[in-house]
Amino acid sequence: MRAEDEGMQAKPVGDRRVRGSLPGVRQQAVKRRYAAGMRDRVWRALSGVGLFIRLAILLLVTCMIGGVIPQDDSARMVFSRLGPKAAGFAALLGLDRVFRQWWFIALLSLLAVNLASCSIRSRRSLRPGAWFSHVGMLVILAGAVLTGALGTRGVMPLNEEEAVSSYMSGDSEGSLPFKVRLKKFTIEYYGGARHVLRMGAPDSGPGIVLEPGREAAIKPGMTMTLLGAFPDVVMSGKGPVNRSGIPRNPAIRVEVDGDGVKSRIWIFQNFPLLYRYNSGAANLPDLYYTYEAPQIRQFVSRLEIVEDGRTVARPAVSVNSPFAWKGWRLFQSGYDEERRDVSIIQVSRDPGTPVVYAGFLVLSLGLAWSFIKGG
C-alpha cells in the first residue's frame, strides 16, 4: 500500500507537470496557426486578381497625368505651358516628375510582386506560352523600375555656335559626359505666310490676301500691289529695316495706284493707321494688315558632339529623328518663340530600355507559343 500510495502520489505530481505545460503548448499552437493564417491571407492578397486591377487602374491614371503635364522640363517651360497656378500645383505634388517618384516605382514593384505571386500560385496549371508571357511582363516591369530609379531626363537650351554639357532636370542641373554645339537651327513650314488686308475694321470679314507682284482692288479706281513683306521691322536712320524672321512687328511695303497716281507706303500690323502719315495715302480707306504665320512642318537642329575639344559626330536632330550617343539620347523638343535661333534639346538616359526590349521579346515569344501551340 505504501508503494501504491507513493505511486499514486507521484502520478498527480506528473499530471500537474503536464497540465501546467498545456497552456504554453496551446499558445504556441495558436501562434503557429495564426502565423500560418496570416501568411496565407497575405499570399492570397499578393497573388489575387483584385490587387492587379487596383494597381492597373492607379498606373493608368498616373500615366494619363504624366501625358498631360510636361515631364522633367524646366520650371520656366512648365509655367509657360500650364500657367502659374497649375504649374505651382503640379510642382507641389511632384506631378511634373511623376515617373521618377518613389511611389510610382513602388506601384511598379508591387505589380511585379503580384504578377510573380500569381505565376507561382498557378505554376501547375500554367502552360509554357503563359509562363513565357508572365516572365516577359516581369522583365518589362523590371526595366521600367530600373529606368524610374536610375534614369535621367532634362532639357538643354542651345544658342547657335554654343557648346555646352549642362542640362536642367526640373530645378536641378546635370551634366553630360560630352558637349553639344548647335551649328544651325532651322524651321520648315508648310507653304508661306499669308498677308491679309482688311478695310474699315480689323475684323471686317475675310479680307484681301495680298500676293507679291499681283494687283488687288482696294476700291473702285484704286489698286494695291505688294512689294515686300517683313516680319520684324524696326526704324533706323535709313528708314524701316527688317531685324529678324520672328514676327514681332510685321509690316508690308505696297504700291498704291489711284487715278493714275502711284505712291509707295508702309502698313504695320501693330500700328494700323500709321500709314496715313505717308504722302499719297489721303484717299485710302482705313486699312488693317494681319500677318498669318505659316504652319510649322518641322524644326531641325544641326549639332556637333564635342569630346576633348574634338568634334566626333555631326548629327541632324529633328522631332521624329533623335540621336543616340554613349547611352544618352538627344531629342528635338522645341524652340524659343521669342528667339528663334535658340533650340531646345531634350536629353535622356534610360538604362532600363534594353531590359524593356528584352521583356517585349520574351512576351512576344510567349504569345506566339500560345497562339501556335494553343497554350
Spatial CA neighbour of 167 closest among 368, 29, 11, 347: 347
Amino acid at 71: Q
DSSP reduced 3-state for 201? coil
Give the per-residue pLDDT at 44.
82
pLDDT single digits (tens) 306-346: 998 899 999 999 988 999 999 899 999 888 877 777 899 99
DSSP 212: B
Where do the domains of the chain lie? 153-188+296-349, 193-293
Whole-number Å distance between alpha carbons of 80 and 96: 13
**Strand ranges across the sheet with 287-292:** 208-210, 194-199, 287-292
Cell output for 364: 512576344
Give the per-residue pLDDT at 57.
92
Give 257's pLDDT tier (boundaries 50, 70, 90).
confident
Q: Is it the case that residue 95 has pLDDT exceeding 70?
A: yes
Q: Is it the case that residue 3 has pLDDT exceeding 70?
A: no
Residue 261 makes CB contacts below 8 A (sequence gap 6+) with 280
Give 75's pLDDT tier (boundaries 50, 70, 90).
low
Whole-number Å distance between alpha carbons of 265 and 313: 50
Spatial CA neighbour of 227 closest among 204, 253, 266, 197: 253
Section 158-178 average pLDDT:
86
Say which residue the cell 524696326 belongs to.
Answer: 234
Q: Is it the case that residue 375 has pLDDT exceeding 90?
A: no
Q: Is it the case that residue 253 has pLDDT exceeding 60?
A: yes
DSSP reduced 3-state for 171? coil
Whole-number Å distance between alpha carbons of 126 and 23: 45
